[in-house]
Each structure stands twice: as C-alpha cells, then as structure tokens.
A and B are shown apart, each in its own frame.
Chain A
Amino acid sequence: MNISALTIQQIREGLAQKRFSAIELTQEAFAFAKAENAKTNAYLTFSDDRALASAAIVDAKLAAGEDPGALAGVPVGVKDVIVTKGVRTTCGSKILETYVPPYNATAVERLEAAGGVIIGKTNCDEFAMGSSNENSAFGPVRNPVALDRVPGGSSGGSAAIVAQGTAVVSLGSDTGGSIRQPASFCGCVGVTPTYGRVSRYGLVAFASSLDHIGPFARNVSDAATLLRAIAGRDTRDATSAAHPVQDYAVSMQQPLKGLKVGIPKEYFNGLASDTGDNIHNGIETLRKQGVEVIDISMPHTDYAIEAYYIICTAEVSANLSRFDGVRYTRRSERSDSLINMYRRSRGEGFGAEAKRRIMLGAYVLSHGYYDAYYLKAQRVRSLITRDFAQAFEKVDAIIAPVSPFPAFKLGEKVDDPLQMYLSDIYTITGSLSGVPCMSVPCGATKDGLPVGMQILTKHFAEDTMFRIAHQYELNRI
C-alpha cells in the first residue's frame, strides 16, 4: 500500500477486503511518520500504545462483523492544543512541556469512537498564536513541499503531516486563519466550520469568541467525513450548536448549476500576481460548471485585522491567566513569594509572541482604554458580520484567496510581528463573523508553491461549501 496517498474510502475497502489489518496499517504509518519527521518536525509526540489499542478495537469489530465506524483504521494527527488523555499536550509551549491531560477533548473522543487511530500530536505555534509555526517552543515545522519554507500557522504540523502523507487526515484549530492558511501553504484541504459546529471542550482556549476545531485532508470528501464525525452538540461546551449535522457526502454530489458566488473586490488588492492568476482560474472553473459569478463589495474588510488583533489579544490575556505555576504549568525555581511565583513562572514559561499578545490584550482592556479599543473593535466586528449577511442575501457563497502570497521562507517575517499579522488579512473576516470557510488547493505558483482558494458560506451551510469544493476538485484542470 502507498500510505502517503491513501484516502478514507481506500482504507475502508482495504480493511473490508482484508488486504491489510488496522494494526498493519498503523504500524506502517508509524514507520513512515517517524522517518519523515526528521525532515519536517511536524509531530511533537507519537502515541504508539494508544494508536495500536485503537487499531486492535477496529480489527476486533471487523472480525466480529460489526461496523467499525466512519473513520475505521484511519491514521489521524491531532494538533497539540487539543487535549488527549494520557498523551502529553504541550500547546507548543515550554510552560506545558510536561503536561499530561487527565481527560480527552470531545473531538478526540468522537473521532476515536468512529474508529480513527491517533498516531501523534502535531507541532504548532505556541498556544496557536502565529502564522508560520515559527513560534513553537519546540522548533519550527518545515513545509514538506519546500523544506526551506514555513508550512503556515498556527496548525503547521497538522497541515504538513497530511501534505507529506504521514497521516490521512488531522485536526487543527483556527482562530484567525490557522487551518486555512497552512492548508493553502502545504497544498491540502483545510476546513474552519461554523462557530459552534464542533465542540471546543478540551481545546486549550486562546480566544474563546473566535476559536474553532476543524479538519485537514488531502481531498474534500475526507475532510467532510472527519467533520461529520466530530460535529454536533456537546453539553460540555455551552457554545456548541444544536443545529443538525448534514450528510455532506450526499449533498456534495449535486452539480453546481444554479448556484451564485460572490467575488468581493476588497479581497483582490495587494495579491501576489501568480496567486491572483490561480484564483481567477479557479473562478473560471466554477463558471464552467454553471455557477453564476457576481462582483460584490464587503466594505469593512479593510478594518478586520485591527479589530481582530484587539479582540483576540484581549481574550488571550484573560485565557492565559490560568497558566500560573500552580495547577498544571511549570513553576519557576525562583518562586520565593506567591506573586513572584506567578510572575516568574509566566515570564520564564511563555515565549515572545505569547507575551506580546498577553501584553497587548492587558493594555487594550486596561482602565481608560477599554472603550477606545475593545468596545470599538467589537462594534467593528458587528459591521464586518453585517457585510457577510448582506452578501449572502445575494449569493450562496463567497470565493476569495486564502493568503495574499504563498509559503514564505523560514525567518523571512519572524522579526516583524506587524507584517506577520497583516498576512492574515483574507482569513480573519470569516473568523470574526463565524461563518464556515475552507481552503481548497487551487494550482501552484511558477515556483511550484501551492495556492489555496477560499470558499465561505452562511452559518451552518457547510453542505453548500463542501458541494462547491468537491465539484471544483473534480473539475479543476
């Protein structure tokens, strides 16, 4: 078997026809992943015992003639901000270097209940804060497409393992583009579902009004299968939605004729030229499928980055206050008083970007600045969300680039945080409004670097989003 190109469907057939067992597949996945990891640093922890136990359950169910689940035997990687009982979960941070969670995230529970086999935890920017994966305390991930380039961030490891083929699918988290941007940089599918579609119970909180869990895959169908397995109401996350989970596999078979998509002009300013060319080709492919393409305007797009970095850092400063050297984090050896324990444990444990965002958040929330920054940003967030509502009165979906440029070189932007923030320009609006959005591979630049096309639909219209993505994938040149 060629493990690096396997699909969920092929695994299902291979297991049913007894061409391989789940245990054999898992062992092969480990051998390949461990060898490849020397190149990319995409995995932080391998979970051999847990994976083999999951695979044994799948094999036993198959032997007994029972349904082994929608993800039976599928090798999965999980971003290291999502907790796994008994398997170290670092959040890419020194402060949690030895943290072993006593419980599982709901998404983890559900994917294992569906027969998924977690082979390891993937590298990411510290607490998911970053756009290049260079903020990990355990070293950057290298892009498997071009090893001198970043895989994107913050879910760089989860994108890289799917692109290199050491896992079939993976879970990432997206707060401002952390699934879609690395998917576009590595050339795989990455999905940020509607806010509340997937329970965040067990996702270490970064910015709670913006955090999402979502899948990476090598094709649209596999991403939809993984999302369906983990989506739905969870009483342990009060923000998880009770909206029924659609059968995406059925809806994505429908042809596109009759659909309308909007092209917002604000998303095509300042785009690298060959990125733009690829997106325009993608739009032409949709047009040939009978999609009506309409030019639209989303006038508040240009204010999204500023609003986002105020809201997200404010929430960061609150959420990261739980890392205090008492319950689960490293404690400074210089903890001679309670206040010094807090301050030194945090000062020594957090990396540069985490501290920068905590500081920015504490500042914008501080006395005298709350109205000028935080409240103002929340009002602008309403305006950006209104842009989406108005657009979706006219169109079924919005098509845009994911990133203004393809994967950049390691070290290229690391000293300029503002430039790094500005690279999130096209993904942040979807995050602020909470609509479902995804990146689907859409050609490559002259240098062979992947380009991602973004598809956004209205809240809970994942069925339409997957339908467009799947039909595009079938028909792209």
Chain B
Amino acid sequence: MKLTDEQVRYVAGLANLTLTDGEVHRYAHDLSDILSHMDKLNELDTTGVEPMTQVLYDAEETATLRADEVVPSLSNADALANAPVSGGGYFKVPKVIER
C-alpha cells in the first residue's frame, strides 16, 4: 500500500486537519509503511468470525442501563468557562450564514 500526497490531503480533509507540505510528505511515508504492515491480517481467514465491537458486550454485568431520569448537570457558566470565545450564554463561532 503506497499513499500519494494527494490521498493524504484528501484524508486530512475528512479529518478536518490542516497539514503543512512537510507533514503531508511525512504522513504519506509513515501511513504507507504502517498500512503495508497491516496487510498481514489478510493471512488470516476470518470467514464466519463475528466482528468484536465491545468487550463483554452481551454479559449481564455490562448490559445495565440506568433509569432515564433528569439529574443536575453543568450550569451554563461552567459549560462556557473553557470556551475560547463565548457571549450571551452561547459558544461563538465565525459567521456561518452569509446574508
């Protein structure tokens, strides 16, 4: 598996990451290297094997859901305290809708 710079830029777009040209070259090399290694999994026949998404997913111990009750949560001020920009009780972001 050999990734091109163009493919790396496409994936960076999917991941919402700005990369420098240097990073693009570096990740094209690193990801190609790592993905080639991962091809080793194709040696295994996994026909009929269920994918495992969670540890002990069906076990009684982990199948417990809590009651759906309203409990106190963070205050508006606490929730906004770490925001880089906020105002009027809201998170503020750059303008999204053009008039």
Interfacial residues, chain A to chain B (CB-CB below 8 A): 98-100, 102-103, 195-196, 209, 233, 235, 238-243, 300, 303, 305-307, 309-310, 317, 321, 324-331, 335-344, 346-348, 350, 352, 355-356, 358-363, 366, 373, 375-383, 385, 417-418, 421, 433-434, 459-460
Is the pair A310, B30 in contact by a Cβ cutoff of 8 Å? no
Known: A347-B17, A385-B55. 14 other contacts (CB 8 A): A233-B64, A310-B38, A310-B41, A321-B16, A338-B93, A340-B18, A346-B15, A347-B19, A350-B17, A356-B27, A359-B15, A378-B51, A418-B33, A460-B61
CA distance A385 to B56 in the complex (A): 10
Mostly helix, strand, loop or mixed at chain B's interface?
A: loop
Q: Are A376 and B41 in contact (CB under 8 A)?
A: yes
In the assembled complex, the Cα of A471 lies from the Cα of B63 at a distance in Å of 34
Partner of A378, one of B16, B23, B52: B52
Collect the chain A residues with CB atoms within 8 Å of residue B37's CB.
Answer: 305-306, 418
In the complex, what residue of chain B is closest to A365 when comparing beta carbons?
Answer: B14
In the complex the two chains form, what is the Cα distance from A196 to B54 in whole Å? 11
Residues 50-76 (chain B) with a chain A CB within 8 angstroms: 50-56, 59-62, 64-66, 74
CA distance A307 to B49 in the complex (A): 14
Assembled-state Cα–Cα distance A373/B65 (Å)? 31
Q: Which 3 A-B pairs have the closest CB atoms?
A: A434-B55, A347-B18, A378-B51
Complex Cα distance, B59 from A325, in Å, reads 38
- Asked if residues A209 and B54 are in contact (CB atoms below 8 Å), the reply is yes
B55 in contact with A209 (CB, 8 Å): yes
Q: Are A355 and B51 in contact (CB under 8 A)?
A: no
Task: Give A236's nearest chain B residue, CB to CB.
Answer: B66
CB distance from B88 to the nearest CB of A (A): 15
B35 to A: closest C-beta gap in Å: 8
Residues of A contacting B31 with CB < 8 Å? 356, 359-360, 363
A-B contact pairs, 27 of them (CB 8 A): A196-B61, A196-B62, A209-B55, A239-B54, A240-B62, A306-B41, A321-B16, A326-B91, A328-B83, A336-B94, A338-B95, A338-B96, A339-B16, A346-B18, A347-B18, A356-B27, A356-B31, A359-B11, A359-B15, A359-B17, A359-B31, A360-B31, A360-B34, A363-B11, A379-B50, A382-B50, A459-B56
With A235-B66, A242-B61 known as contacts, the answer to whether A379 contacts B49 (CB < 8 A) is: yes
Residue of B55, B60, B94 contacting most chain A CB atoms (<10 Å): B55
- Decide: B81 and A303 in contact? CB cutoff 8 A: no
Nearest opposing residue in chain A for B75, CB measure? A102
Cα–Cα distance between A298 and B44 once the two chains are bound (Å): 14
B78 adjacent to chain A (CB < 8 Å):
yes
B87 contacts partner chain A, Cβ-Cβ < 8 Å? no
